[in-house]
Chains A and B, each alone.
Chain A
Amino acid sequence: MKYLQSALTILFPVAIVLVIGAAVLLAAGYNPLAVYADLMTEAFGGQRRLAASLSAATPLIFTGLAAAVAFRVGVFTVGAEGSLYVGALMAAWLGFTLTGLNGWLLAPLCLLAGAAAGLVWMLPPGLMKARLGIDEIVTTLMLNFIAIGLTTWLVNGPLLAPGAANSSTPQVADAARLTRLMPPSTLTTGFLIAVALLVAYAIWQRRRIGGYETLVGGLAPRFARASGIDMPGLMLRMLLVSGAIAGLGGAIQVLGPIGRFVAGFSTGYGFTGIAVAILARGNPLGILIGAVLFGGLSTAGATIQLFSDVPIEIVNILQGLIMIFAVADFGLRGWFARRTARQTAAEGSQP
């Protein structure tokens, strides 16, 4: 029953979105089934395509996980995008500055620094939430724009690559680059780090005290407080962890596929990550599947254009709609919730 319920809550919004997407395609004169089939083959048909999809999925695993760890304890951050940017820039800066270091040192250092930068970026909204109870949604949203503006300014001025016309830093040292797993695909060891992080999350969720405390804290904050859990502190910690994960994701993009920091390099990874986390309802396997699905869609959309005239943007439409419908309550959960409520009420507790 439980599995049926979670399957339904995930599949139902996806189904609705696919139907709307089909309507859009039909209206534009395309055969939706053919387009969907093409998208699937382009995303997952064959080793090379799969590698491209996994590469595209990598940043989404980080941002999805960043959202999930915070949502778990009831902190509704939308700030992964901002942490991703500052983490990426930090990694790039160290990567092209400390060129003397050896690869075994430089790459981990850049990754750690990226995570640290992402963490620090979430410190102001985290403290505002924990100390003053200021709503984290708006502050983290604003910090995204601030991060984008700040990093763009830095790479247009102080950190601009000499001679480069576009807004980007110099290339990071080769020693800092992550190893490609299946050249020429841009799939790097970053994907392995992402999967390792997911595994760690899965273990943490089920087996660590922190996983337990965030579970009950998210479900019943007053209960958690009464059992001695420091809720403001826990919320702050999880928001910082969220920032660190997103910052690491940014660093991995820089040391992996891009090789330097480019202003506006993220195509909304932070926001897609939110959709991934919500769709997966915090389940680690769900995050992996969701990220691969979204990643696959975006690479497939790009290649599908090469041989057909279907606009790649159908993928963006699907992405945005999934975000909307993933948070909608179609009464499925409501139905189960009502049933539990009825059972509880039937046991006769009066206010």
Chain B
Amino acid sequence: MITDILFSALVMTTPLILAALGGLIHRSSGIVNVGLDGMMLLGALVAIIIASGGNWAVALVGAGLAGGVTGWLMTLGITRLRANEIIVGLGLNIAIAGAIRFYLKAAYGSSGNLRLPDVSRLPKIDLPLPGALGAVFSGHSILTWIAWALVPLTAWVLSRTALGLRLRACGTSAASAAAIGLNPMRMREGAGFVAGLLSGLAGAYLSIGVVGLFNEGITGGRGFIALAAFYFGANRPWATAACALLFGIFDAVQIRLQGRGFPAELIQTLPYIMVCVVLLLLGLAARRRAQGKAAYHG
């Protein structure tokens, strides 16, 4: 029972980590990406179409590219046309959901669902681990392990490489970064591509990794939970992954306990409540700092 929950928690965590890391990178460059959910949905669809009678690896590339290009285009609107990032993200989600349903109807005559033959599923990795360890960690898809490997990689790139340094600089102070010759707009657009790429992969994980089919509600708002994860993780990769894991556990528990009078819908709001609480605590801390400073100098 508990091992089952932990196993499915890891399953639920995978798309969250992928999308949250993408959002984290985009945020580090200075943009709050609210369109993760839409890009995830797009990735899920593209992946299953390519994987049907095709190859899962190609499907991953396709899903990643589709998400990446969308993320890049979205960021172009924000950087070059100075559009508000939140509104663009929300609009993008609506437009992508509409476009996908339009496409499903126009191309397959189906409403919201897509079941295709011969879907090449993501391979699962069996680990020779004993007992409970095996039950929790064995049998996960390759993308799960890639997702976890991306956590230290992201942390390393952000903190230890020139690219990461420049990305953070552009995110914190675009004007100062531009003054020393960096190009914050291009940095943000690049980060937007990465955010879309990882969200696309997250979507592919859901469609060709978990269920093997597509429906329009497949993301279940996970793009927004990913948003909560990197907010709650204060943009630190490990903290963000830990939050994603926590939300994954909520998800697994809630699925398991569904229909037993358990308030599943309330559990689902926890990530969002936590974001508000974090923002409140940060605000209170900032005020205390400001007051402390005044008192010190006064």
Contacts and interface: CB of A to CB of B under 8 A. Distances in A.
Nearest to B106: A28
Nearest to B109: A309
Contacts of A15: none
A316 B272 contact: no
A306 to B, nearest CB: 14
Interface stretch (A37-45, A51-59, A151-159, A179-187): A151-159
Given A124-B276, A141-B34, A324 B231 contact: no
A323 B231 CA distance: 24
A278 B94 contact: no
B286 interface: yes
Given A28-B102, A328-B82, A329-B83, A323 B94 contact: yes
A311 B101 contact: yes
Interface stretch (B140-148, B156-164, B259-267): B259-267
A150 B88 contact: no
Given A271-B90, A311-B105, A330 B81 contact: yes
B101 to A, nearest CB: 4
A157 B261 contact: yes
B112 to A, nearest CB: 10
A324 B88 CA distance: 5
B246 to A, nearest CB: 16
Interface in A261-298: 268, 271, 274-275, 278
Interface string A239-276: 00000000000000000000000000000100100110
Contact of B90 (A24, A153, A274): A274
A130 B101 CA distance: 41
A313 B87 CA distance: 20
Range, interface on chain A: 35 or more
Q: Is the interface of A mostly helix, strand, loop or mixed?
A: helix
Contact of A149 (B106, B107, B269): B269
Interface residues of B, number: 48
A11 interface: no
B280 interface: yes
Nearest to A323: B91
Contacts of A322: 91
A138 B231 contact: yes
B93 A320 contact: yes
Contacts of B86: 76, 78, 137, 141
B71 to A, nearest CB: 14
Nearest to B101: A313
Contact of B83 (A24, A133, A317, A324): A324
A8 to B, nearest CB: 15
24 contacts: A28-B103, A76-B86, A124-B276, A132-B284, A134-B279, A134-B283, A135-B279, A138-B32, A142-B273, A143-B276, A145-B272, A150-B269, A274-B87, A274-B90, A313-B99, A316-B94, A316-B97, A317-B98, A317-B102, A320-B92, A320-B94, A323-B91, A324-B95, A328-B83
Interface of A: 24, 28-29, 76, 78, 124-125, 128, 132-135, 137-139, 141-143, 145-146, 149-150, 152-153, 156-157, 268, 271, 274-275, 278, 311, 313-330
